[in-house]
Structure 1
Amino acid sequence: MSAARLVFSGVACARGGRMLFADMDFVLEAGAAAVLSGPNGIGKSSLLRLAAGLLAPTAGQIARAGGIALADEAIALDARLPLAAALGFWARLDGGGARLAAAMDALGLTALAPVPVRMLSTGQRKRATLARVVASGAGLWLLDEPANGLDGDGLVRLERIIADHRAAGGVVVAASHQALGITDPQAIILGGAGR
């Protein structure tokens, strides 16, 4: 994994003719984490999409280093394929084929490798999405509500993969309404600009 870094300098985001936030400034160096909070519809997911390069900022500059992995509500796995094959497709594209078995193990999915994606529960699908992120080898993880649908064991595993990623020099940005067990996160609270 190459050194991860994310910098927002004076970033603004408008969606649907409404300013969600403006003058957003922060720097996340290798090993750092940020937790985005604020009410629904305030721009947390939009901030993650800006960080991923999927949206252009209305104003300001965004700099990023290290590969990027985005995990949101879209599982992005072929529902017809067995889980291992569906995850393997992305792992090969990301050059992470060798990391796939460890990623599946880290999320408790090894026993589900032959099960078609369409047969997975909500929590299992969330774990699969997170395994795709782990296997990617990306330095910058952008996680949109990563705890949704996870049981107690899944939450422990989520906390562990985030801690391990940070210890290896990765950066994590997570939007969540739930406690994620992230130690020493930078809090980014969104609100007010468009209200």
Structure 2
Amino acid sequence: MAPTLLDVADLACRRGGRPVFERLSFALGAGELLALTGRNGSGKTTLLRALALLVRPEAGTIRWQGSDVQDDPETWRGRLAWLGHLDGLKGDLTVCENLLGAERLRDRPAADDRLDLALVAFDLNALAHRAVRTLSAGQRRRTALARVLLTQAPLWLLDEPLNALDAPAQQAFRSVLQNHLAGGGLAIAATHADLGVAGARTFELAG
């Protein structure tokens, strides 16, 4: 078994004053994928947001290589790639402008070869200079996934990554995810669908 990188212990979160989950614990090592399953409202998105420090847990700890991520939240956020339920793209900007702008916000401008890799991985070359507002839902989702790949972050937090993707795009996503895991990356994905990745662990939230 790979050494633990991410250790979540006794995590508890509330939403609207009511508990969503309590005493939630798991650990992940390099190359592992955790698929979060459960009915709508069971807490999958809340857990992802807590891991990204977008909501504050009521209790528990999140540790990366033994250190509490709350001690240095900016460094922790730099280790994450986030894909929300919404794509989080600016409609008036082109595909390339969205990708490059996201990297500038991370204070690490993307090299041309990394940008090209992300565009090719999700078949976006022909759309690179199109305004995002002119794209279909599936094309926008592919752009958001290309942004995740571009980060080269060790931990990916993905909320329903297969949303709006057709069969070829789903296969492209699986290939990219498998390469990320094979390179020692980690991923946690909230999903209602089979991600199609061998060896994925499943964590069902009861709500």
Contact 1:91 1:100 in 2 (8 A): no
Contact 1:6 1:28 in 2 (8 A): yes
Contact 1:4 1:170 in 2 (8 A): no
Whole-angstrom CA distance in 1 between matches of 2:4 and 2:137? 30
User: What is the deviation of 1:105?
Assistant: 0.8
Give the match's secondary structure for 1:11: strand
Q: Which residue of 2 aligns with 1:34?
A: 34
Whole-angstrom CA distance in 2 between matches of 1:126 and 1:17? 32
User: What is the deviation of 1:7?
Assistant: 1.6
Q: Which residue of 1 aligns with 2:173?
A: 158
1:104-123 residue pairs with structure 2 within 5 A?
A: 104-123=119-138
Contact 2:4 2:27 in 1 (8 A): no
Q: Which stretch has the larger CA shift, 30-39 or 61-70?
A: 61-70
List per-residue Cα deviations over 1:74-118 (Å, max 9, x = no partner): 322221112111211112333251222101111111110011010
| Paired-residue identity, % | 40
Whole-angstrom CA distance in 2 between matches of 1:7 and 1:189? 17
Pair 1:97 & 2:110 matched: yes
Whole-angstrom CA distance in 2 between matches of 1:26 and 1:127? 29
User: What is the deviation of 1:126?
Assistant: 0.6
Whole-angstrom CA distance in 2 between matches of 1:174 and 1:35? 5
1:59-78 residue pairs with structure 2 within 5 A?
A: 59-64=59-64, 67-78=79-90
Whole-angstrom CA distance in 1 between matches of 2:48 and 2:4? 15
Q: Please report the TM-score for the alignment, with normalisation by the length of structure 2.
A: 0.87
Q: Which residue of 1 aligns with 2:51?
A: 51
Structure 2: stretches of 5+ with no match in the other structure: 66-75
Q: Which stretch has the larger CA shift, 142-151 or 97-106?
A: 97-106
Pair 1:125 & 2:137 matched: no
Give the match's secondary structure for 2:163: coil
Q: Please report the TM-score for the alignment, with normalisation by the length of structure 1.
A: 0.92
Structure 1: stretches of 5+ with no match in the other structure: none
Aligned partner of 1:167 among 182, 190, 193: 182
Q: Give aligned pairs, total.
A: 190
Q: Which residue of 1 aligns with 2:197?
A: 182
User: What is the deviation of 1:17?
Assistant: 1.4
RMSD of aligned Cα (Å): 1.6
Contact 1:123 1:151 in 2 (8 A): yes
Contact 1:4 1:140 in 2 (8 A): no
Alpha carbons of structure 1 residues 186 and 96: separation in structure 2 relative to 1, 3 Å: farther
Contact 1:10 1:24 in 2 (8 A): yes
Whole-angstrom CA distance in 2 between matches of 1:43 and 1:4? 24
User: What is the deviation of 1:186?
Assistant: 1.6
Letter in 2 for 1:27: A
Alpha carbons of structure 1 residues 145 and 72: separation in structure 2 relative to 1, 3 Å: same
Give the match's secondary structure for 2:177: helix
